Amino acid sequence: MKNSLTQKIGDEIVYNKPVIKVIGLGGGGGNAVSRMISRNFTEVDFIAANTDSQALKSNSAPTKLLIGPGITRGMGCGGNPEIGELAALESESLIREALQGADIVFLTAGMGGGTGSGAIGVAAKIAKDLGAVTISVVNTPFSFESGKRITNARTYLNKLAAHSDTLIAIPNDQLLKIVPRDLSLKESFEIADDVLRQGVLGISQLLTGVGEINVDFSHIRNMMMNGGGSLLTIGYGKGPNKVSMAMYQALNHPLLEHLPIENATGMIVNFTGDENLSFREVVEGMGYLQQLSNHQAEIIPGQIVDNRLQDEVEIILIVTGMASTPLESLNTKPEVKKNSLEREKTSPKTFYSNVAIPDSISHGEETKVLETVLSSTEPMRSMQSIDGPIIPTPNTEKKEFSASAEAAFETFMSPLGLSGYTPASITKNVENSDTDKIQDLDIPTFIRRKM
């Protein structure tokens, strides 16, 4: 049989689209899958896996896997992740069959409980063994939850990290900081699902969109599998400064950690806009990212023309080679302990972040504070918030921006009225009428777009 890539000119060329599968494990992961299905996703295979037959029966996923029937008899794990792990191992062949043929596998679960915590690492290893790019998006427990759930989450996140090309852990506490007080629990978790939704949607668009500069699957695969930890995020912008706005939003997602982009070894950045998106805007955006990464990152650009985006731009950013947040820091107590200080000194990739956001994002509060503590081995990248200053925690040991990176920051952010900001210093409040028009960039896409 002829290989579709080596057919002669004149023959029909068959394009084999990369296969994307999303598997939700346990109650939290299964609910996330059901909510995504309700958003009418296409060209993605959804799978739900659980040890609870009743919960699985009510799930809307087209493929349902009852795992560990011999161990749990379909009655769940009772919150024990060890049983969840054994259940996944018992049904390893079933999971393997469901994931067979996937090029990219998204895995999601709520960490701290039984099935999701225990099974997701097993499923990730299976996906990795099958040669797929593995992207895990999970929720970690609220700080008020019992120590046992937090310990379970920490233990099984470490296991999951070993088999994930990308691991995004969303603290449930962050939801309390960004959602309006009157938002229901279901709607709140839909906001958390937005990170997973953006990842699936972003990669789907990268692989199926056709434009002036195309990004193929090999680019994504090579970067994410060899990048030493990666992250995918999306930003939107509109108007004369749309690229700056989209870049700001992509780099400052309220549910994701402050991105240590200075350490990145590779980036894929795709610009989707109408046919009037100027070449200069794209070049300036690429130049800004390159200087922000201290000219150490390989950057692969992409551009897709979509005339439905009138005077708008969508940026899909995949960053690889970043340091990862140590999982030992999950829900650590606020008091400073001697052993934690010693761990910071000996761990070159340690960084902690805390985003303090008003209780309600719809009431127009002005001030937002970002406190970031980095180890002395990592430079700090700080951005001025559109509707208030970002105040880094003082640390005289931190490396400063290079002069070229500071200049790039000034040039790129000046259209937003954010120039004059010196990284790693306390900034002045921005008084610019344009900021009122774009202050909603920190509002999650789910709320802002009413999707």
Q: Which residue has the higher pLDDT, 122 or 401?
A: 122
Q: Where are the domains of the chain?
A: 20-202, 218-320
Q: Which residue has the higher pLDDT, 221 or 392?
A: 221
The per-residue pLDDT for range 260-290, each reduced to its tens digit, is 778 788 888 889 898 888 888 888 888 888 8
The 10 Å Cβ neighbour count of residue 157 is: 23
CATH architecture of 218-320: 2-Layer Sandwich (3.30)
Q: Any known ligand binding at 202?
A: no
pLDDT higher than 60, residue 367: no
* CA gap 174, 179 in Å, rounded: 9
Q: Which residue has the higher pLDDT, 421 or 228?
A: 228
The per-residue pLDDT for range 285-317, each reduced to its tens digit, is 888 888 888 888 888 888 888 888 899 999 988
Q: Which residue has the higher pLDDT, 207 or 128?
A: 128
Same CATH topology for 20-202 and 218-320: the answer is no
pLDDT (0 to 100) of residue 406 = 47
Q: Which residue has the higher pLDDT, 111 or 354?
A: 111
pLDDT (0 to 100) of residue 82 = 96
pLDDT (0 to 100) of residue 106 = 93
pLDDT higher than 70, residue 335: no
The 10 Å Cβ neighbour count of residue 213 is: 12
* Confidence bin at 323 (pLDDT 50/70/90): low
Q: Which residue has the higher pLDDT, 226 or 62?
A: 62
Helices 81-90 and 92-99 pack at an angle, to 10 degrees, of 70
Q: 104: which strand partners?
A: 20, 133
Q: Any known ligand binding at 287?
A: no
Q: Any known ligand binding at 411?
A: no
User: Taking Cα atoms as reference points, which of 169, 117, 175, 173 lies closest to residue 139?
Assistant: 169
Percent of the chain's residues with pLDDT above 70: 65
Q: Any known ligand binding at 149?
A: yes
Q: Any known ligand binding at 182?
A: no
pLDDT (0 to 100) of residue 210 = 66
* CA gap 341, 335 in Å, rounded: 11
| Strand ranges of the sheet holding 104-110, from the earlier edge strand across to the other edge | 63-66, 45-50, 20-25, 104-110, 133-140, 166-171
Return the residue matching tokens 């059901």. 34
Q: Any known ligand binding at 364?
A: no
pLDDT higher than 80, residue 436: no
* CA gap 216, 273 in Å, rounded: 18
The residues, any chain, with a CB within 8 Å of residue 230's CB and separated by 6 or more, are 165, 166, 223, 224, 318, 319, 320, 321, 322
Whether the Cβ atoms of residue 386 and residue 416 lie closer than 8 Å to each other: yes
pLDDT (0 to 100) of residue 11 = 58
What average pLDDT does the segment 315-324 reach? Answer: 76
pLDDT (0 to 100) of residue 211 = 67
Range of weakest confidence among 60-69, 198-207, 436-445: 436-445
pLDDT (0 to 100) of residue 337 = 38
pLDDT higher than 80, residue 141: yes
The 10 Å Cβ neighbour count of residue 155 is: 18
Helices (H), 81-179: 81-90, 92-99, 115-129, 147-161, 172-178
pTM value > 0.75: no
The residues, any chain, with a CB within 8 Å of residue 372's CB and separated by 6 or more, are 258, 351, 352, 353, 354, 380, 382, 392, 393
The per-residue pLDDT for range 82-106, each reduced to its tens digit, is 999 999 999 999 999 999 999 999 9
User: Taking Cα atoms as reference points, which of 278, 262, 247, 270 lies closest to residue 386?
Assistant: 247
pLDDT higher than 50, residue 441: no
Q: Which residue has the higher pLDDT, 182 or 341?
A: 182
Q: Any known ligand binding at 193?
A: yes
Q: Any known ligand binding at 114?
A: yes
Q: Any known ligand binding at 115?
A: yes
- CATH code: domain 20-202 is 3.40.50.1440
**What is the rounded average pLDDT for all residues in the chain?**
71
What average pLDDT does the segment 426-439 reach? Answer: 37
